[in-house]
A and B are shown apart, each in its own frame.
Chain A
């Protein structure tokens, strides 16, 4: 039985909700202002992993959910509280606009350092989703790990914690690997991990209570800080702190544009047309 109290952090992000049609322009582009928002689906696995990790530590272990984003991103912090995290922290500052992955990792690293300091000791574990659905880079986690000099386990499918070590199963090229990593460590959770459990009734009521409470009480569970609070250098954040920029975007034109459409006939006829038009199909049919 491991009784070491663990300080666990989980990094989450609010992303545009692509499940709904809202904010999707007819040409397929996204109007981010109009689109609905949701917790990055990959982060749901990380959240569950963080909550599971808490049970592997001592009775004073705790989970802090951390995000960076505009004020409405507070919704995902409430969501995390409903699922059972102990505290949440948000870095929100206009000067963060247009951050690339390196600038994001710097700002989040400063935020984590701030939390470590508030807490009186550095974190033991940081969980991240594999990637976000709006950036798809999978870079921010390992970049934070480098900055904090943590060990890292990417594509983690399962793990257990004992003493100062994490035993994990992770995906590698062409297989899986069992590794043992010393704490502190940063873990990115693969989407083959357990699904996020439903929020508890207690969690939901707790969040309702917080929302109705005084500002002071709210701040105990939902802390919002800016760049100055976490001593982040402005020139290392946002557009100024990003070593990369998007210099140009363009629509990808229709590739083939010569699609022969088969429609408005019986299924048998439709299939017959395609099979006859494409003799190559039969070349590969098993004899």
Chain B
């Protein structure tokens, strides 16, 4: 089994503040892996660090068995794309133009799109169902539409690995699932490796092959949704007494109610 990421003794953080230290972790290729954990546990930091958006403080990250340190940022951009949590673009930019930005790592002539570029842009529009407003300006889109356009830009980058930092934030329930269905489709049909951060543990359980549960900068547990979405792990990771059952339709565990643990329970 090839690994998408292998972290050895990885430490990262912001300026003087260390968020996690000495992390050892592997993420398999071709799977959907979701990092879950309470606010401030370091899940976004981990995603940003392996996506080289944030400079690691120590340790080594292997991207498909190559030391990331030895790869140029452009080479990395051909292997992995990141959708950040709050992406920004000028409102006058056309949907199609933004998606074309995703072709940057593959382009030699920056002023003209090749046939391959255009094919990839078409594909990204199709997969994300954004074809119908390809000529609109970003400012004219709703939050859900905009998120799918950003996803399309990441797809146009033509990478086998996709990192998504809370791709469903600020979306309503239907639009959340819409995005996750696209992600699932990318993994199943196009063999993309997906690593994402999600807040909703039910979504994480339903759409992931693997979960990584973090707390206070440490990886508490890793495993299948069934292994992670259980009473014990929820207690130690989130400090909650969760009520869990199997969703009769999706056959994945769901947390249908919970209470915050009292001091006495801890």
Asked if chains A and B come from one complex, the reply is no
Chain B interfacial positions (CB closer than 8 Å to A): none
Chain A interfacial positions (CB closer than 8 Å to B): none
